[in-house]
Chain A
Amino acid sequence: MNSKRTELKVQAIRTGTVIDHIPAENTYRVFSMLSLEKSTDHVYFGTNLESKKMGKKGIVKISNKFFEPEEISKIALVAPHATLIEIRDYDIVRKYKITLPEEVHNLVKCVNPKCVTNNQQVPTHFRLITDHHGKTKLACLYCEKTMSISDIQFL
């Protein structure tokens, strides 16, 4: 199955942003993380779509929406290999792979209940690191504990 036919399974948008190559299991997470249930514009999403690169993928299309860098950092944490496609009048004006940020400021809650950030009014701050299995993890700059991407809770 080629990628063109896959994309046609989800309605095209006139102006807005397409988030492609979301890991299928995180499609709903991207949806809720961006509070798309509150959007009053057209939002389309598909999941478990065939992908040559990923096996199964998710895709979200949001009308009249262009993302700020902070929102892109958020998306990157749960969909580190996603592609963002910005569309105006059905034309692709920009297409780029998102990259994981080196640091994450005040976006994510620390998993350690005894961390100072969970007990005082301290903005969280994490550095992204690669663990001994090659997996990306978030290291809290305060309590120095690391957590997996799957444990992320957004603030």
Chain B
Amino acid sequence: MIQLKNRDLISITDYSKEEILKVLDIAEDFERDQRQKILTNYVIASLFFEPSTRTRLSFESAVQYLGGRIIGFASADTSSVRKGESLKDTILTVSNYSDLIIMRNPLDGSARYASEVSPVPVINAGDGSNQHPTQCLLDLYSIRKTQGTLENLQIALVGDLKYGRTVHSLVQALSLFHATFHLVSPESLKLPSGVKKWIKDAGLEYFQYTELSEVIPFADILYMTRIQGERFPDPMEYEKVKNSYILNNSMLENSKESLRILHPLPRVNEISEDVDDNPKAYYFQQAKNGVYVRQALIAAILGLKE
């Protein structure tokens, strides 16, 4: 029995495969009809202790389309945190004023702690470099929508595989769906062995590459991420590799018809703008899917959709 009512979502591994699929199914319902006024008597708290464009606005958009009210703040500067209020006190206070808390906080593990303290459910909208589970859900939704299934896909993950939290969560989630992973990164930004262990433990295969062009012919999904120069201990090394992970339109000539290109955004230069008009580019639609997925999650946690 799938029971999402009153559940927190802190880490993607908190949810089983069936629970993840349930959220995606409800999201499809919201994609068909986004303006279902089911939240009219609800107040949702949106606590963003650090800046965000897509995540905060898509959560707030999700609530507004459902007819709910939003309270909260978009930076720690406009809350009592600035006066030195503890996270515990902030959460306990806000939980008196709302039915659900959505929180982004720069401290790793802050979301788990908030969920322990809070009497109302908590959705993690990013806790430092740790987890960002709603990004993972919208990535899964986008993959399923473009490929018709999540099972047995050839998934190419490109760029900073070492520090990118979205990549780590996506690997954990796709390991439930028999994916084959093609990992394209510079030597110094390879996927951490702890994350590779997830793949191995699931009995699945991964292959590692340093050239982006190698995976394009057979990939179903090309998941691009940003390589940040400051991640390299040696700036010379960054200069050497930075251009080898830039996708441009001509590189897609030999790709599969069904290939779709995803990116958690913001992008800097890793996808040339000439790719944007290619029907295989899916990253802006992917960001739009974030609203449906967040609507689904909120509705499921409040027990308004089953």
Q: Which residues of B contact A140 (CB under 8 A)?
A: 109
Instruction: Tell me whether B108 and A145 are in contact (CB under 8 A).
Output: yes
Q: Does A120 contact B (CB under 8 A)?
A: yes
B145 interface hit (Cβ, 8 Å): no
Pick from A112, A132, A144 the residue with the most CB of B within 10 Å. Answer: A144
Rounded to whole angstroms, the CA-CA distance of A131 and B2 in the bound complex is 31
Shortest distance in angstroms between B11's beta carbon and chain A's nearest beta carbon? Answer: 7
Does A15 have its Cβ within 8 Å of any Cβ on chain B?
A: no
Give complex CA distance A114, B62 in Å: 30
Output the least CB separation between B230 and chain A (Å): 16
| Cβ contact within 8 Å between A146 and B87 | no
In contact, A114 and B128 (Cβ under 8 angstroms) = yes
User: Cβ of A92 < 8 Å from any Cβ of B?
Assistant: no
B residues 96-134 touching A (CB-CB < 8 Å):
106-110, 112-113, 127-131
Most buried by A among B107, B129, B194, B200: B107
- Provide the bound-state CA to CA distance between A143 and B108, in Å: 5
A116 to B59, alpha carbons, bound, how many Å? 24
Q: Scoring B residues 123 to 155 as 1 if CB is less than 8 Å from chain A, else 0, what string do you get? A: 000011111000000000000000000000000
Whether B86 is near chain A, meaning CB under 8 Å from some CB there, is yes
In angstroms, how far is the closest chain B Cβ from the Cβ of A26? Answer: 25
Task: Using known A-B contacts A132-B197, A132-B200, A144-B109, determine if residue A114 contacts B129 with beta carbons closer than 8 Å.
Answer: yes
Are the C-beta atoms of B112 and A142 separated by less than 8 Å? yes
Q: In chain B, residues 38-93, which have Cβ atoms closer than 8 Å to a Cβ of chain A? A: 86-88
Say yes or no: is A119 at the interface (Cβ < 8 Å to chain B): yes
Q: Is A122 an interface position by the 8 A CB rule?
A: yes
Question: Interface majority SS on A: helix, strand, loop or mixed?
Answer: loop
Are B107 and A120 in contact, CB atoms less than 8 angstroms apart?
yes
Q: Please state if B128 and A143 are interface contacts (CB–CB under 8 Å).
A: yes
The residue that A119 contacts in the complex, of B107, B112, B194, B200, with Cβ under 8 A, is B107
Q: Could you tell me the distance between the alpha carbons of A117 and B193 in the complex, rounded to whole angstroms?
A: 25
From the candidates B110, B196, B200, name the one contacting A116 in the complex (CB within 8 A): B110
A120 and B193 form a contact (CB under 8 A): no
Chain B residues in 8 Å Cβ range of A131: 194, 197
User: Cβ of A132 and Cβ of B109 under 8 Å apart?
Assistant: no
| Contacts of B172-227 to chain A: CB distance below 8 A | 193-194, 196-197, 200
Cα-based distance from A131 to B200 in the complex (angstroms): 12
Docked complex: A141-155 residues within 8 A CB-CB of B = 141-146
Enumerate chain B residues within 8 angstroms of A144, measured Cβ to Cβ: 11, 108-109, 130-131
The winner among B113, B128, B197 for most chain A CB atoms within 10 A is B113
CA distance A117 to B128 in the complex (A): 13
The reply to whether A120 and B197 form a contact with Cβ atoms under 8 Å apart is: no
Determine the chain A residues whose CB is within 8 A of the CB of B108 once the complex forms: 112, 114-116, 142-145
Closest B-chain residue to A129, C-beta based?
A: B194
| B interface residues (Cβ-Cβ under 8 A, vs A) | 11, 86-88, 106-110, 112-113, 127-131, 193-194, 196-197, 200
Nearest 9 pairs of A and B residues by beta carbon: A142-B109, A143-B108, A143-B109, A116-B109, A116-B107, A116-B110, A132-B197, A114-B108, A116-B113
